[in-house]
Structure 1
Amino acid sequence: MWNKVFLIFLACISFSFENGELEEKFHKAIRGTYDVENFDVKEIEAPADINEKLPAKTGDKRFFQIFSEGTSVGYAYLGKAPSKKKEFDYVVMFDNDLIIKKSKVLIYRENYGQQIGTQRWLKQFIGMSPSSEVNYGENVAAISGATISASSMARAVNKVLKTMKILQEEKVI
């Protein structure tokens, strides 16, 4: 009985630490990308009928508009994508015109495939817009030794871009 309680306690501590770590890394990414020290984030959630159509869902603290001194500086989509055995957390950050300013892997949980977290590889997404199509191995370079994670990140960014296009067409953003 006590073993089960202890394991549940450890799982709760680990979960809250990870969420705190994720939030801290998310905020650090915002500061660096938008060159702001003080900012506010406002969650954007599409109406249910529109959210059903989205490849990357809103709600559950996933999609935000970022403000500095009361002025919008851009948007950020915070998501999870599968790696070989686990998931990793990523963020895609946009300017006000919905052009990707930066993408970043925030927390990677595998021993292999960390190469997808390098800015050298991730910078391929910079400048893409909702009308862009991400094709792994074509306009986004493949990574030997990180095939699953790299293709997963490419698919995730593609879904986020398609979501932005729909949100724009539906006048949610």
Structure 2
Amino acid sequence: LEAVEVVARANRESENILLLEQKKALLATQAVGARELSRKGIGNAEAAVSKVSGISKQEGVKNVFVRGLGDRYNATTLNGFLVPSEDPEYKNIALDFFGTDIIQNVGVNKVFSGSSTGDAGGAIIDISSKELINDRAFGAEISGGLNRGTIGVDFLRQDGSNYLGFANNKKPNENKVD
């Protein structure tokens, strides 16, 4: 008999794997997986992070607070890379940009370590995106429209354009030099 090698991938969306990784981790990191997000009816990363203890969200405020520290003391990463803010007034990106359909898990590290950025005194929020291996998550849509009020109406058009407004390239060029 020959040796048989079994290769398996851990499903990082399940709570059991996340708890096992949390147990083995050197840093105290809390994570919420995709299965827990769907079971609790959570729609985006902001709502997912607010389920972690020590993190709160206030009405009318864009970002989350970690142990009372605001946006200035937190850092947001996507798959380990820092994500810049979409608003120059804030340091972090709004977490409601990330819907649960692309999130595999959301991890929150509230402990400072040498491997993290030096400006994150509150927390580092790491959003892990889903791996699209053998997943048919691609979609395409085609649509069109028509304004019936413009049919048969003679509008001013630029010389050389067709009815759709594109240049008519089939006309011979009189200035062409042979």
TM-score, normalized by length of structure 1? 0.26
TM-score, normalized by length of structure 2? 0.26
Which of the two has greater helix per residue? 1
